[in-house]
Amino acid sequence: MEKFSLNMAKAFLGKNVNLHLKDGSVIVNVQVSELQKDDFKRETFVKCIAYGKKDELVIPLRSIAWAEQLNLSLFLATNND
């Protein structure tokens, strides 16, 4: 498996994902909203919004091991009675 990179993060912009971090934890069902580059620290951050929340999470790109895209149609089932 290759390292999670800026190009991979760009592919997930606007999509709902589970973010798997290098420490083994998982941030479940967040929408990747923005990529932010800090030129002073020479670091890139991923901004994401948790489902149903307004607050943004800011996670360093180097902390993310991989991302798993979610299929929202499984979560948003309709009642067809």
**∠47-50-53 over CA atoms, to 5°?**
115
pLDDT of residue 54: 85
Is pLDDT above 90 for 75?
A: no
Direct distance between the N- and C-terminal alpha carbons of the chain, in angstroms, rounded to an integer: 44
* Residues 34-55 pLDDT 10s: 999 988 888 999 999 988 888 8
Q: How far apart are CA 5 and CA 8, in angstroms?
A: 5
Domain membership flag for residue 56? yes
pLDDT of residue 9: 92
- The rounded percent of the chain whose pLDDT value lies above 70 is 85
Domain membership flag for residue 1? no
- Ranges of beta strands (E only) in the chain are 16-21, 26-38, 43-50, 56-60, 64-69
pTM recorded for the entire structure: 0.80
pLDDT of residue 1: 59
- What are the percentages of helix, strand and coil residues in the chain, rounded to 5? 15, 45, 40
CATH number for the domain spanning 29: value is 2.30.30.100
Name the domain count of the chain: 1
